[in-house]
Amino acid sequence: YPMMLMRGGATARARLPGAAPQLRRKGKADDVAVAKFAQVYANYFSVEEYDLQFRRFDGSMSTVVNRAIFLSGDAAVVLPYDPRRDRVLVIEQFRMGPFARGDNNPWLIEAVAGRVDGGETPEEAARREAMEEAGLELFDLIPAKHYYPSPAAMGEYLYTYVGLTDLPDDAAGIGGLPGEAEDIRAHILPFERLMSLVESGEIDNAPLILLAYWLDRHRSAMREGRTGA
């Protein structure tokens, strides 16, 4: 049931008006025709399989194609930033994706992140995750960019933010929710150290990389108190 609520919230947000198309085509209701649908796996996440046709750029319909999609609900991602000290908090934890791929070091450096639960907004999820994963209260939440990270294979949509907060030296440490088997280590990094880890490739988590570059572009305004950057 919680996954149904999460999925329902994601569907409702997906149907909200987005940026008006200027380059890409504007979709219509009859542009996709589903011939067959099956939910082949359902647990905390789900996998769905479709036989469908889609509208081609020449106006005709494609042949029937088979596509599978991994559904995990929407997620909120937040990079905590202390503009006074010019430093960020990042977290480190074991990740199944790198492990299943065969990576010999499946611990990643990431921003704080988590699923948007049913009945909550992405902003509420970002604040909740900051408290659960790092014990942080955010005094301002600044939207960065929202996007599909891997639209060919996943129905996930990310809402990303920079969260202004206070990051004293003792903000680092071990955290996470025991009930969710989380084992999370928080690191406090000067902003320039964050960027050096991005450039070296040690940080190879896409949402954190994008947030780091977004913050690099806007951090001067934040340090001057212009949080509407």
List of E strands, 55-208: 65-71, 75-82, 87-94, 107-110, 112-115, 140-147, 158-164, 173-175, 184-190
Tokens representing 19 are 């940026």
What is the pLDDT, as a whole number, of residue 1?
63
18-27 average pLDDT score = 89
Low-confidence winner among 17-26, 49-58, 77-86, 167-176 (lowest mean pLDDT): 167-176
Whole-structure pTM value? 0.92
**CB-count burial class (<10 Å; 0-12, 13-18, 19+) for 77:** buried
Mean of per-residue pLDDT scores for the chain: 93
DSSP conformational letter for 173? E
Q: Mind listing the pLDDT tens digit for each residue in 66-88? A: 999 999 899 999 999 999 999 99
Residue whose structure tokens are 């929710």 = 177
Domain that holds residue 51: 2-71
Tell me which residues are annotated as active site.
180
Spell out the alpha helix ranges (H) of the chain: 2-14, 96-101, 122-134, 191-200, 206-223
191-198 average pLDDT score = 98
Q: Is 65 domain-assigned?
A: yes
Q: Domain boundary at 49, 71, 93, which? A: 71
Q: Is 137 domain-assigned?
A: yes
What is the pLDDT, as a whole number, of residue 122?
97
| CB neighbour list of residue 138: distance below 8 Å, 6 or more residues apart | 78, 80, 126, 127, 130, 163, 164, 165
8 and 98: one domain? no
